[in-house]
Structure 1
Amino acid sequence: MAGTDSEVDLWTIPLIALNVTVRKKLGLYLNPKNTVAADWMAVAEAMDFTYLEIKNYEAFENPTKRVLENWQAQSSDASVGKLLSILTEVERNDILEDLRPLIDEDVRKYLENVKKAAEPPVQVHEVDSCVPRTPERFGITREDDPNGAPELFDAFICYCESDFEFVHEMIRELEQTDYKLKLCVFDRDVLPGSCVWTITSELIEKRCKRMVVVISDEYLESEACDFQTKFALSLCPGARNKRLIPVVYKTMTKPFPSILRFLTKCDYTRPCTQSWFWVRLAKALSLP
């Protein structure tokens, strides 16, 4: 693969890796009607959109753009590899030949960004000279036994301080009811004194089955939440194991984070579905 590691599995790279330039060029190839070659409708059909959905997309000036965005938001199979497979299936090899170098470059940049997000800041001895009494990755939570098995959780809760009241409600609804789920709430469960980046990555990767991301305007400004989200995404490309669950609990004035648009969210702001909110969230967290 030009510009990227030859062993990269493009089926594990989510569609969000593709930037604006590639998407615009796809539109230039697929939007025109009355051509011999397959157009955006054939691509949309291969993505399993229904006839009525495809007819609705005709009203848009750039239907290809709308199809890609909705496929990315609705399907857990929306990956770069799947898109290339669909273009091959509809015999648009001209698109593959022309855009493959640009696609490979987007994938390379995406993987670099994911890798950077997963790397904790370098700390020198003068900055962090404390020596933990127990190994750094043991004895990090309240119920950890340094000499036994580490404490495990059903979900890591990614939140910012301004959303802590909702986190308390989450604890009441998911831990103190018949669901009996075990949540990892950093301010409650993590012992002080260790490197926050190291402990966070340990909890998300090895101690928690899933991560609930509490989305709000304040979340978008939080460096800690940004690190946690990108690190968790790097562990489950294409959302294959439903590791991340975005939760919206109040109305936002800022756009929903684009990096999470391809994931199905749990929305507490809709009165008509609010009664199902905790049941859906608990079920998702209870999965193996």
Structure 2
Amino acid sequence: MACSGSEVDLSTIPLVALNMTVRKKLGLYLNPRNTVAADWMAVAEEFDFSYLEIKNYEHSENPTRRVLENWQARSTDATVGKLLSVLAKVERNDIVEDLRALIDEDVRKYLENLKKTNDPPVQVPEVNSSVPRSPVQCAITREDDPEGAPELFDAFICYCQSDFEFVHEMIRELEQTDYKLKLCVFDRDVLPGSCVWTITSELIEKRCKRMVVVISDEYLDSDECDFQTKFALSLCPGARNKRLIPVVYKSMKRPFPSILRFLTRCDYTRPCTQAWFWVRLAKALSLP
């Protein structure tokens, strides 16, 4: 299924491209039990959820959201195109028509952010021609050896600037103790002067075994954090191979991001488990 007015194949766009607004509206359409039109249960059946799974979702406050999150977590077929095909199959073309403009806009933003990771910095021909055209590895982090292997890390830390004090504590607890883990902290490790989007995608995809996402109210407003999280999820649906680890270190006024709800989180705000927090996180990052 192609995106209207363009040649984008929506079957290649992962479900993580859909933002909160579209997901909420899907719930408004599908959550109410309806004897006339197909509801969330019909959609869940098309996603191959079992009878027992669907019965369990009945107790959820927002079953549509749960179904989408779990489908996204376990299926490599969880794409925007597949979702639209299923809605059409269960004869909910009303939803497709009403939400299509919002969906197309989310897809446009997603592709725009992905494109930023692949576009080289703009240079005038004179400057570009003066750069030696050799296959030498370009250094992007402090410890990179341009003539050797690239610097590798145990985890990429996704954070916003207002949470940097906690990132400092994470460095002390995980790098400067017996755990001896190696974290990729953008403001500390990345050399200045290169394209942020290109470097970020390179680090997440090729240099870091895992990604720690520091969740806060401020994180929810960060375009950079939003891109990093969605890019990491798009590499392997459900984060089965490059595992994402959400970390909550302070109480939040806003809901936890829906695209990460299917992942087990490390919660520093619970006094009863705080003593195990760093041990659990370090063990998760130390696994092969």
Please state if 1:113 is matched with 2:109.
yes
Mapped to 2, the partners of 1:47 and 1:110 lie a distance apart of 32
Counterparts of residues 147-158 of structure 1 (less than 5 Å): 147-158=147-158
Q: Which residue of 1 aligns with 2:140?
A: 140
Mapped to 2, the partners of 1:253 and 1:136 lie a distance apart of 48
Aligned partner of 1:125 among 117, 123, 130? 123
Mapped to 2, the partners of 1:242 and 1:71 lie a distance apart of 22
Quickly say closer, same or farther: Cα 1:264–1:109, change in 2 above 3 A: farther
Query: Cα distance, 1:286 vs. partner?
Result: 2.9
Query: Cα distance, 1:137 vs. partner?
Result: 5.8
Please state if 1:208 is matched with 2:211.
no
Quickly say closer, same or farther: Cα 1:50–1:41, change in 2 above 3 A: closer
Please state if 1:167 is matched with 2:164.
no
Query: Cα distance, 1:123 vs. partner?
Result: 4.4
Deviations, residues 231-254 of structure 1 (Å, cap 9, x unaligned): 323323343435322211111233
Q: Which residue of 2 aligns with 1:264?
A: 264
Mapped to 1, the partners of 2:39 and 2:29 lie a distance apart of 13
Counterparts of residues 28-39 of structure 1 (less than 5 Å): 31-32=33-34
- The answer (yes or no) to whether the contact 2:153–2:209 under 8 Å persists in 1 is yes
Counterparts of residues 34-49 of structure 1 (less than 5 Å): 43=44, 46=50, 48-49=52-53
Query: Cα distance, 1:281 vs. partner?
Result: 2.2
Query: Cα distance, 1:268 vs. partner?
Result: 1.2
Give ranges in structure 2 of 5+ residues lacking alignment.
none
Deviations, residues 238-276 of structure 1 (Å, cap 9, x unaligned): 434353222111112333334434443322112223233
Once the two structures are overlaid, the 10-residue window that deviates more, 265-274 or 109-118, is: 109-118
CA RMSD after TM alignment:
4.3
Query: Cα distance, 1:150 vs. partner?
Result: 0.5
Q: Which residue of 2 aligns with 1:13?
A: 15
Q: Which residue of 1 aligns with 2:74?
A: 77
Quickly say closer, same or farther: Cα 1:260–1:105, change in 2 above 3 A: farther
Quickly say closer, same or farther: Cα 1:140–1:269, change in 2 above 3 A: same
The amino acid of 2:111's aligned partner reads K
Query: Cα distance, 1:194 vs. partner?
Result: 2.9
Deviations, residues 120-163 of structure 1 (Å, cap 9, x unaligned): 5774437xx79889989622222211111101111111122332
Quickly say closer, same or farther: Cα 1:38–1:261, change in 2 above 3 A: same
Quickly say closer, same or farther: Cα 1:25–1:216, change in 2 above 3 A: closer
- The answer (yes or no) to whether the contact 1:160–1:222 under 8 Å persists in 2 is yes
Mapped to 1, the partners of 2:145 and 2:51 lie a distance apart of 49
Give ranges in structure 1 of 5+ residues lacking alignment.
61-65
- The answer (yes or no) to whether the contact 2:23–2:65 under 8 Å persists in 1 is no
Q: Which residue of 2 aligns with 1:176?
A: 176
The amino acid of 1:268's aligned partner reads Y
Mapped to 2, the partners of 1:192 and 1:80 lie a distance apart of 35
TM-score by length of 1: 0.70
The amino acid of 1:49's aligned partner reads E
Question: What secondary structure does 1:213 align onto?
Answer: strand
Which structure is richer in relative contact order (CA contacts within 8 A, separation 6 or more)? 1
Aligned pair count reads: 270
Question: What secondary structure does 2:202 align onto?
Answer: helix
Q: Which residue of 2 aligns with 1:63?
A: none
Question: What secondary structure does 1:276 align onto?
Answer: helix
Quickly say closer, same or farther: Cα 1:181–1:224, change in 2 above 3 A: same
Question: What secondary structure does 1:143 align onto?
Answer: coil
TM-score by length of 2: 0.70
- The answer (yes or no) to whether the contact 2:17–2:106 under 8 Å persists in 1 is no
- The answer (yes or no) to whether the contact 1:159–1:219 under 8 Å persists in 2 is yes
Mapped to 1, the partners of 2:241 and 2:99 lie a distance apart of 25
Q: Which residue of 1 aligns with 2:64?
A: 68
